[in-house]
């Protein structure tokens, strides 16, 4: 979709439809909405008086202009209560309005910058949120469908502003919003791909193309390299698959190479059957998205390469399938991780933490600090937090607070979970250094405590996105399927660390 910032009168814009807005409880529209209302002979005011337009959040009312203004249609989008307006709501309203107009066949659309007037939202931030919402909300994954879609997509969006002095800020916000949203949609594309189209090799190829297109360094460790490094945990998970494992490395150098390098680690299980501890068949197809953490990290690196912050960042993505082959790892087996720790396999479906153990060990070898890992790690986290918040686990209060703040800026919610030492008891093994699962109770926490064994003293945050990586329905800027969660959070975190 083409998005441009233009100066002028929105009532004279040559588009199929325009989007204006209204706060809940307003009896007469003001600003740009007021100007449109006046040009329509007070029609919006009349509909407010009749109770058809209430301004409730995400309420969409379609008004036909009947030739009174250049756009054929006007959508009045409800912003909800004025004192509750924020960037997340702007993203959501933009997404809902664009999807609404897609259904009525509008291809060329104009909009005002929601909240940038009386709403008190920074102009640049409003443009960024609006752009993100439009691109994220109109996302579709139709790669494997041969039938043409019933609805034609919105292919042109114009953000209209009368005051020419505001154009530079709007353009900057629009440009950053596009980078953020398109990176998120890359992660969505990767996680929506069926596992036969997104093997570990395919995942490495995507990372390689991102590196070529956005000026990153790319390296992939093949099976023989992984063996030389002693990554027994990763190899143990991979031995049940005919697909060779890949250990993907993407690096961005934005400042003096001698300075600290932020480490981003993403789980790349391209299909998870559970292995010998096989999952129920119902819903197993969704396990093509068990590489959503790895996809998020690759996509975040794309945005970082495009935005060019003054910071060094290295991403590590261990990628493999988890399948129940005759050679697959079995319950009761013992694996040795790269850092020398031995792991008793209690359940082969607790495989994500195994591959992350070696990735975190490799991050230590590279002296990456701080570290953030992202993984669809535990059903326990999904049960605890539902599909609203992702779990955040950390050994460093300052770092986890920065991650949560970066999430708030992106409209992604994280809830910090406890990391008390007492939980470690559940991971103790009678035959090895540690078990790969501590049992049912506190499962998300014991999984995080398992990962902590391979981090040491490095400041670290673990993000469990098991409940938020996919959604079954459209809601605000999310659409059915993969959500691309944490991409924009990781980018925001990187930008804030670069400013420090």
pLDDT in tens, 377-418: 999 999 999 999 999 999 999 999 999 999 999 999 999 999
Cβ contacts of 264 within 8 Å, gap of 6 or more: 297, 300, 301, 313, 314, 315, 316, 371, 372, 373, 374, 490
Which structural domains are found in the chain, ordered by start?
Answer: 2-161 (3.40.220.10), 181-499 (3.40.630.10)
pLDDT tens-digit series, residues 101-152:
999 999 999 999 998 876 788 999 999 999 999 999 999 998 898 888 777 7
CB atoms within 10 A of CB 398: 9
How many Å separate Cα 309 from the centre of its chain? 19
pLDDT for 118: 67
Quick: pLDDT tens for 453-475.
999 999 999 999 999 999 998 99
Q: Which two tokens stand for residue 451?
A: 């990962």
Torsion of CA 444, 449, 452, 457, to 10 degrees: 120
For residue 443, the 8-state DSSP code is H
- 158 neighbors 111 (Cβ within 8 angstroms): yes
Question: Across-strand partners of 17?
Answer: 73, 109
- Rounded mean pLDDT of the chain? 95
Rg (alpha carbons) of the chain, rounded to whole number: 24
- pLDDT-flagged residues of the chain (< 70): 118
Give the pTM. 0.96
> Could you give the residue numbers annotated as active site?
279, 353
Residues contacting 471, CB < 8 A, separation 6+: 387, 478, 479, 480, 481, 483
- pLDDT number for residue 62: 95
Are the C-beta atoms of residues 486 and 465 closer than 8 Å to each other?
A: yes
pLDDT of residue 393: 98
- Predicted local distance difference test score (pLDDT) of residue 115: 84
How far CA 348 is from CA of 214, 237, 270, 328, in Å, comes to 37, 8, 15, 9
User: Residue 152's pLDDT is what?
Assistant: 79
Give the residue carrying structure tokens 């082959």: 325
Nearest-angstrom CA–CA distance, 345 and 347: 6
């Amino acid at each position: 979709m083409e998005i441009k910032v233009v100066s002028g009168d929105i009532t004279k814009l040559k588009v199929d439809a325009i989007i204006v807005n209204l706060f809940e409880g307003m009896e007469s529209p003001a600003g740009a909405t007021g100007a449109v209302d006046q040009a329509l002979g007070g029609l919006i005011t009349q509909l407010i008086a009749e109770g058809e337009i209430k301004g409730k959040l995400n309420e969409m009312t379609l008004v036909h202009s009947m030739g009174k203004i250049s756009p054929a249609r006007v959508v009045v989008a409800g912003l909800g209560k004025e004192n509750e307006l924020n960037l997340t709501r702007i993203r959501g309203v933009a997404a809902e309005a664009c999807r609404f107009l897609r259904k009525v066949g509008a291809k060329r659309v104009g909009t005002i910058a929601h909240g940038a007037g009386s709403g008190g939202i920074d102009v640049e931030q409003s443009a960024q949120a609006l752009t993100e919402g439009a691109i994220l909300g109109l996302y579709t994954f139709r790669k494997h469908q041969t039938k043409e879609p019933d609805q034609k997509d919105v292919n042109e969006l114009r953000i209209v502003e009368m005051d020419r002095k505001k154009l530079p800020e709007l353009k900057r916000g629009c440009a950053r919003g596009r980078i953020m949203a398109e990176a998120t949609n890359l992660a969505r594309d990767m996680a929506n791909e069926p596992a036969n189209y997104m093997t570990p090799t395919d995942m490495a190829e995507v990372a390689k193309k991102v590196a070529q297109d956005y000026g990153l360094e790319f390296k992939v460790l093949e099976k023989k390299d992984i063996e030389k490094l002693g990554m027994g945990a990763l190899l143990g998970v991979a031995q049940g698959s005919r697909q060779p494992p890949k250990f993907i490395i993407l690096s961005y150098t934005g400042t003096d190479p001698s300075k600290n390098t932020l480490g981003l680690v993403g789980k790349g299980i391209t299909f998870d059957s559970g292995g010998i501890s096989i999952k129920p068949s119902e819903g197993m197809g969704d396990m093509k998205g068990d590489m959503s953490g790895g996809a998020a990290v690759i996509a975040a690196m794309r945005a970082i390469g495009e935005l060019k912050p003054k910071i060094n960042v290295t991403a590590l993505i261990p990628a493999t399938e988890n399948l129940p082959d005759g050679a697959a790892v079995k319950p009761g087996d013992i694996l040795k991780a790269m850092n020398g720790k031995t792991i008793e396999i209690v359940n082969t479906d607790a495989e994500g933490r195994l591959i992350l153990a070696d990735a975190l060990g490799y991050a230590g070898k590279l002296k990456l600090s701080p570290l953030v890992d992202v993984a669809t790690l535990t059903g326990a986290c999904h049960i605890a937090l539902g599909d609203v918040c992702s779990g955040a686990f950390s050994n460093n209060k300052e770092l986890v607070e920065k991650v949560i703040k970066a999430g708030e800026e992106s409209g992604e919610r994280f809830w910090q979970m406890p990391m008390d030492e007492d939980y470690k008891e559940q991971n103790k093994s009678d035959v090895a250094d540690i078990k790969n699962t501590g049992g049912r109770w506190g499962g998300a926490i014991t999984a995080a405590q398992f990962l902590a064994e391979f981090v040491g003293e490095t400041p670290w945050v673990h993000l469990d996105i098991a409940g938020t990586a996919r959604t079954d329905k459209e809601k605000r800027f999310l659409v059915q399927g993969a959500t691309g969660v944490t991409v924009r959070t990781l980018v925001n975190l990187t930008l804030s660390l670069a400013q420090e």
